């Protein structure tokens, strides 16, 4: 019978959470949840950053002679169909892991089957088991306790190192660790949370936050939670046009969240009342359509002409942002300054990325498109910390309780399931 756990609470940070080094994993069956959701094109991995980020935790478990079971999602499959299997299989990820670790990575296609128990027991020191895409199982996104109970039946230690998924209440992130007494985090999550805590408990001043992207609604939680801590805010990207519209400035046919204009007006008042410096675009790169290599022009002011759409910050705005970056001691950036994925609208975002890289400040880039931007600008190696989880890093900075983190705090657990001895059928 499964006893219900007490609420984990929200002590914050890593309080009450054990790291992999604090757990006894020697020769144990260790289930490691990773974020191996790498970009792929025609079945080929185009960026293995997330795979490389998982290596330290895997290598530590190998050193401890653990029997390792890896799990991850990949993409957003609609179900377990032949088409989804072809598009979202972790087979290429397993192959890349095998190359990087110089050992056999065995892809197990039916994690919900009973045969997996024999596979786990039979792993040699030169073998790792990789479960097929967790999202092929209908129970994963439903946070199924039935799925979790099956996985727990062959797991002695649970390690979460999937920061990019830690805000999801999914079976391998939330339900499963609630069943395992020996549970904790890997090196990647430890690093991520430590860096984000630097922002929430900031001691360096001035503190500058740059926010971009399409929607004010996506960043409102971060603005709210960091309002008292940040000295200066820069708002760029399409979300800036909602703030400009809130001031009665013409935005042409630029993207605007009309239902968030009142919210933007309220935020503008709060910035002013708290004496927080706010930098909005004072000029733009505009075009008549959002298309690669379309003719563009720079506006002389913040006003955007009728029939034109703003798709990047202009040179005056870029100079203002570069000057603000040069004064800061700690900087957080999330969201591009324009539609950088299509030339010629990448210039503003790339110049901001370069300014961050050349700054003497502590710099934290918060996942998603911002990571792509610093990598595309060729300056990623000069950023103090680049988060692997866009949504997770934002929710953490909003002060939200993240299901995958809270369940790891060492409070009561539901049950500690022991793995039965495999039968002859399991081993065959």
- So which residues are the catalytic ones? 50, 215, 368, 391
Adjacent-strand bridge partners of 362: 330
Measured between alpha carbons, how far is 65 from 47 in angstroms, rounded to an integer? 29
Tracing tokens 């299989």 back to the chain, one arrives at 89
Tracing tokens 């798709």 back to the chain, one arrives at 311
Contact 145, 175 (CB under 8 A): yes
**Other Cβ atoms closer than 10 A to 4:** 8
Adjacent-strand bridge partners of 298: 285
Answer whether the bond into residue 206 is a cis peptide, omega within 30°.
Answer: yes
Helices (H), 229-314: 239-246, 261-273
Residues 339-373, buried b or exposed e (16+ Cβ, 10 A)? bbeeebbbbbbbbbbbbbbebebbbbbbbbbbbbb
Contact 186, 161 (CB under 8 A): yes
**Which pair of structure tokens corresponds to residue 332?**
């957080």
Contact 191, 215 (CB under 8 A): no
**Other Cβ atoms closer than 10 A to 297:** 13
Nearest to 21 by CA among 241, 266, 190: 190
Adjacent-strand bridge partners of 67: 29
DSSP labels, 399-426: TPPPHHHHTTSSS--S--PPPPPPPHHH
């Amino acid at each position: 019978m499964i006893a219900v756990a007490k609420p984990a609470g929200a002590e914050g940070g890593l309080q009450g959470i054990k790291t992999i080094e604090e757990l006894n994993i020697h020769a144990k069956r260790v289930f490691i949840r990773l974020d191996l959701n790498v970009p792929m094109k025609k079945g080929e991995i185009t960026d293995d950053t997330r795979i490389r980020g998982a290596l330290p935790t895997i290598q530590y478990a190998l050193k401890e002679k653990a029997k390792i079971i890896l799990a991850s999602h990949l993409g957003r499959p609609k179900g377990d169909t032949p088409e989804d299997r072809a598009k979202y299989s972790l087979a290429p990820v397993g192959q890349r892991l095998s190359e990087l670790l110089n050992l056999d990575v065995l892809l197990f296609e039916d994690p919900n089957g009973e045969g997996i128990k024999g596979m786990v027991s039979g792993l040699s020191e030169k073998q790792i088991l990789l479960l097929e895409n967790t999202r092929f199982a209908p129970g994963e996104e439903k946070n199924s306790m039935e799925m979790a109970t099956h996985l727990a039946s062959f797991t002695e230690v649970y390690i979460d190192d999937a920061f990019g998924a830690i805000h999801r209440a999914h079976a391998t992130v939330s339900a499963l660790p609630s069943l395992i007494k020996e549970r904790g985090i890997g090196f990647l999550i430890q690093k991520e949370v430590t860096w984000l805590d630097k922002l929430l408990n900031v001691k360096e001043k001035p503190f500058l936050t740059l926010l971009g992207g399409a929607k004010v609604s996506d960043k409102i939680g971060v603005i709210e939670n960091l309002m008292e801590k940040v000295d200066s805010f820069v708002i760029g990207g399409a979300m800036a046009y909602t703030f400009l519209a809130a001031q009665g400035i013409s935005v042409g046919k630029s993207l605007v969240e009309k239902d968030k204009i009142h919210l933007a007006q309220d935020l503008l008042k709060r910035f002013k009342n708290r004496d927080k410096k706010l930098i909005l675009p004072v000029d733009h790169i505009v075009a008549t359509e959002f298309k690669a290599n379309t003719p563009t022009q720079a506006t002389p002011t913040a006003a955007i002409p009728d029939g034109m759409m703003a798709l990047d910050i202009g040179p005056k705005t870029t100079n203002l942002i570069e000057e603000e970056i040069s004064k800061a001691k700690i900087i957080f950036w999330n969201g591009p300054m324009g539609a950088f994925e299509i030339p010629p609208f990448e210039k503003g975002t790339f110049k901001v990325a370069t300014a961050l890289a050349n700054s003497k400040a502590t710099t934290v880039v918060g996942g998603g498109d911002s990571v792509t931007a610093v990598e595309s600008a060729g300056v990623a190696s000069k950023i103090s910390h680049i988060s692997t989880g866009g949504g997770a890093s934002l929710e953490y900075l909003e002060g939200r309780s993240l299901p995958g983190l809270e369940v790891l705090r060492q409070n009561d657990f539901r049950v500690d399931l022991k793995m039965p001895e495999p039968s002859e059928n399991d081993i065959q």
